[in-house]
Chains A and B, each alone.
Chain A
Amino acid sequence: MARRRRSRYHRLDVKASPYLYVLPFFLLFGVFGAFPLIYTAWVSFFDWDFLAETHQWIGLDNYWRLFSDYTFWNAVLNTAQILVLSMVPQLLLALLLAYALNQRLRSPRFWQMSALLPNITSVVAVTIIFGQLFGRDYGMINWFLGLFELGKIDWQAGQASSQIAIATMIVWRWTGYTALIYLAAMQAVPKDLYAAASLDGATSFQQFRMITVPAIRPTIVFTVIISTIAGMQVLAEPLLFGGGSISGGSDRQFQTLSLYLYEVGFNRWEFGYASAASWLMFALIVIAASINYLFLGRIRRH
């Protein structure tokens, strides 16, 4: 009798417990993820002034307005440019760094932890330091250029220069983190592959290209998608680089999508329009991530 009861408990345990274990995540996701998402969708159908007491239903008008909003598409373009400028060097450098960390090093933990340091530094601190590096009058980079009589660059004023500066901050912050993900994948590559390749006389670059990279391809796909999603949402770097200016420079030359959302919502107080823009942004992120996935998936099959 007792045994049967125990087995019933056991069945219940086996069936229900897993759901219980994942429940905290879904509760948190529901409160901080799903609810805001759905609520934003609801708000996006209104002319919703921040402080007004009543809001007017306007259907899809906010979305139609977005399609002809020059500023929105300017932000999309800036975001895409900064994404490419930051993601490509970041992933390449991370690969090399991981490869180096995977060699036999004295005190490997120390080097691995060092790689993570930039990432655990507060983004505000990073931006302040880089803001000083890229300063126009007293910045270190301009001082360095001055040594070679190359003249001063007004980093914030130009479109290319400002975006390069912002991309540099992102690269600095995320390269180490990505490298550790690659390192974990590299350590799972069977050692005998390398041994066999060495016997066949492959150089270490050939080993890297023919063994390491193909073996960790799924991880590369993963990091590309993750950094695309993160890159589409860059906010703190351009905001703080511009000294807190929400327009992202005098000509919006480095205003990203998130920054534009912030301007519309918290500066112009048009919450309905900002919500519509954030849904369109969500759609764009899904599209960008899917393109990357399909593109890299094809490479994988070859």
Chain B
Amino acid sequence: MSSERYVERQLLVVSRRLRVFLCTFVALVLPAPLAGCGDSDDGRIRLTVGTFGEFGYDQLYREYEAANPGIRIVERVTRAEDHHKNLAAHLATNTGAADVEAVEEGWLGQFTAAPNRFIDLNTYGAATLKSGWPDWKWNFGTSADGRVIGLGTDVGGMAMCYRRDLFTRAGLPVDRTEVAKLWPSWEKYIETGARFKQQVPDVGWMDGPTSMFRSVLGQQEVGLYDGPDSIVVGTNPSVKKAWDLSAQALERGLSARLVAFSSDWNAGLAQGSFATLACPSWMMTLIQEQARNAAGQWDVATVPGGGGNWGGSWLTVPKQTEHPAEAAALAVWLTAPQQQAAVFRASGNFPSTVSLYKDPVIKDFRNPFFNNAPVGRFFATSVTRLEPQYIGPRTGEIATRIINGLSRVEQGRDTPDESWRKVLREVEVLS
């Protein structure tokens, strides 16, 4: 290529990039329609859906677009913590939020406390849908003055995922009923872990502190709050119990020392660097996504201690959307039982709508990735029995601070007692 031609080509590339850059820049400064970068060129209404983690919606978006030719859907996926931080910033500044925003249980309370920032979905007929969800799921998405802010998507439930190949290496049974007998309680889970590490020292028994702590906590009657604005981290023995068990497991070296949901953690899943992972239904989605090469190696058994819940989400429509009716319609459609069932079967997030728990589409579903484990029955049982904890507005932030404390123990920076004292000090700041 001649040098002139080369320079010409480069200039073209640069000018194209410049246009994208300017468009982004202008969009940041001006309201989208003014910048000419908003709705798509073909006249369709563009709806943005802001999610985190893995909602398993890709297929559904295409389906919805096919049924509604006037709509184009764009998904914006961010890491959970950043997603909620950004959402708050976008709400506070009244610009930048997606048309439909997903909110996780640990953060939802902060948003239902600011109902003016959201569309009351009752105005779009949500009230008629109420009976679809269990009361607790519905109520948690509702503000104190009765406005419906969020519609339930998935619910965590609780199970324990494990790697069959690694269990074989350690000489442990691999059949799910046999495996369940290894850990009737968390104490036994730790014992089995110690046995496992003796046989397979180069692999972690569990991923890191997060999943174990959140699981034990999720099984307690009272968690981080015992009512609105009443944080009981320092006084509730159940929280301390979850802390002590997790700290004990860490001190016995059972962890692969991976920070949950980090890129190292993803790599750990892909490389099989830990043998068990406490798994709510949405965790199964992440495993399938990150450990694609390990189909059939992962399996699911009941969780130590039995029952419990960790996580689950809601879809909201921020008031700043330019297309409230279309956005609300999309949120209603995505959370309808039929779509929730499709998500569960395709990727694993367990539905929160009650009618499905007796439906054979869900109840009899076996997940081929997890060695055909009867996950439908597992989670239907676990979720039907669910006794929901009170989840306060700052649950997410408090949990992050407690898990930081467990990381300090894991890294050997603090003894469990020192670290717990720091946790209490950090939580104090939040109350």
Separation of A199 and B116 alpha carbons in the complex (Å): 80
Select the stretch in A188-196, A208-216, A244-252 that faces chain B: A244-252
Partner of B414, one of A138, A247, A251: A251
Q: Scoring B residues 72 to 102 as 1 if CB is less than 8 Å from chain A, else 0, what string do you get?
A: 0000000101100100110110000000000
Q: Scoring A residues 127 to 139 as 1 if CB is less than 8 Å from chain B, else 0, what string do you get?
A: 0000000011110
- Chain A residues in 8 Å Cβ range of B113: 51
9 extra interchain contacts, Cβ-Cβ under 8 A, other than A157-B411, A247-B404, A253-B413?
A: A51-B110, A52-B114, A157-B413, A244-B81, A245-B259, A250-B411, A251-B404, A266-B85, A269-B88
Whether A172 sits at the interface, judged by CB under 8 Å, is: no
Count of B residues near A, CB < 8 Å? 35
Whether A33 sits at the interface, judged by CB under 8 Å, is: no
Report whether B411 and A243 are in contact in the complex, using a CB–CB cutoff of 8 Å: no
Name the residue on B nearest A52 (C-beta): B114
Name the residue on B nearest A271 (C-beta): B92
B427 → chain A closest CB, angstroms: 12
Knowing A51-B91, A251-B408 touch, does A268 contact B430 (C-beta < 8 A)? yes
Whether B345 sits at the interface, judged by CB under 8 Å, is: no
Q: What are 23 inter-chain pairs, A to B, with CB distance below 8 A?
A: A50-B92, A51-B91, A51-B110, A51-B111, A51-B113, A71-B429, A137-B264, A138-B267, A157-B411, A157-B412, A243-B264, A244-B82, A246-B81, A247-B400, A250-B404, A250-B408, A251-B422, A266-B85, A266-B89, A268-B397, A268-B429, A269-B88, A269-B110
Whether A206 sits at the interface, judged by CB under 8 Å, is: no
- Chain A residues in 8 Å Cβ range of B81: 244, 246
Name the residue on A nearest B408 (C-beta): A250
- Chain B residues in 8 Å Cβ range of A53: 116
Whether B130 sits at the interface, judged by CB under 8 Å, is: no
Name the residue on A nearest B406 (C-beta): A250
Whether B176 sits at the interface, judged by CB under 8 Å, is: no
Name the residue on A nearest B256 (C-beta): A137
Report whether A243 and B92 are in contact in the complex, using a CB–CB cutoff of 8 Å: no
Whether A13 sits at the interface, judged by CB under 8 Å, is: no
> Hey, which bits of chain B sit against chain A, CB under 8 A?
79, 81-82, 85, 88-89, 91-92, 110-111, 113-114, 116-117, 257, 259, 262-264, 267, 273, 397, 400-401, 404-405, 407-408, 411-414, 422, 429-430
A33 → chain B closest CB, angstroms: 15
Separation of A253 and B89 alpha carbons in the complex (Å): 26
Separation of A267 and B397 alpha carbons in the complex (Å): 8
B248 → chain A closest CB, angstroms: 18
Name the residue on A nearest B114 (C-beta): A51
A298 → chain B closest CB, angstroms: 41
Report whether B262 and A243 are in contact in the complex, using a CB–CB cutoff of 8 Å: yes
- Chain A residues in 8 Å Cβ range of B262: 243
Name the residue on B nearest A247 (C-beta): B404
Separation of A50 and B88 alpha carbons in the complex (Å): 8
Interface centre among A53, A245, A253 (most CB of B within 10 A): A245
Separation of A194 and B408 alpha carbons in the complex (Å): 57
- Chain A residues in 8 Å Cβ range of B85: 266-267
Name the residue on A nearest B89 (C-beta): A266
A24 → chain B closest CB, angstroms: 15
Report whether B413 and A250 are in contact in the complex, using a CB–CB cutoff of 8 Å: yes
B292 → chain A closest CB, angstroms: 19
* Chain A contacts with B in 239-293, Cβ cutoff 8 A: 243-247, 250-251, 253, 266-269
B415 → chain A closest CB, angstroms: 13
Report whether A135 and B264 are in contact in the complex, using a CB–CB cutoff of 8 Å: yes
- Chain A residues in 8 Å Cβ range of B414: 251
Report whether A51 and B397 are in contact in the complex, using a CB–CB cutoff of 8 Å: no
Knowing A51-B92, A244-B79, A268-B429 touch, does A251 contact B114 (C-beta < 8 A)? no
Q: Scoring A residues 61 to 100 as 1 if CB is less than 8 Å from chain B, else 0, what string do you get?
A: 0000000000100000000000000000000000000000
Separation of A85 and B24 alpha carbons in the complex (Å): 36
Name the residue on A nearest B263 (C-beta): A243
- Chain A residues in 8 Å Cβ range of B405: 250
- Chain A residues in 8 Å Cβ range of B111: 51
- Chain A residues in 8 Å Cβ range of B408: 250-251
A168 → chain B closest CB, angstroms: 19
Name the residue on B nearest A156 (C-beta): B411
B418 → chain A closest CB, angstroms: 10
Separation of A247 and B407 alpha carbons in the complex (Å): 12
Partner of B411, one of A50, A51, A154, A246: A154
B267 → chain A closest CB, angstroms: 7
Separation of A86 and B317 alpha carbons in the complex (Å): 45
Separation of A268 and B431 alpha carbons in the complex (Å): 10
Name the residue on B nearest A159 (C-beta): B413
- Chain B residues in 8 Å Cβ range of A266: 85, 88-89
B247 → chain A closest CB, angstroms: 13
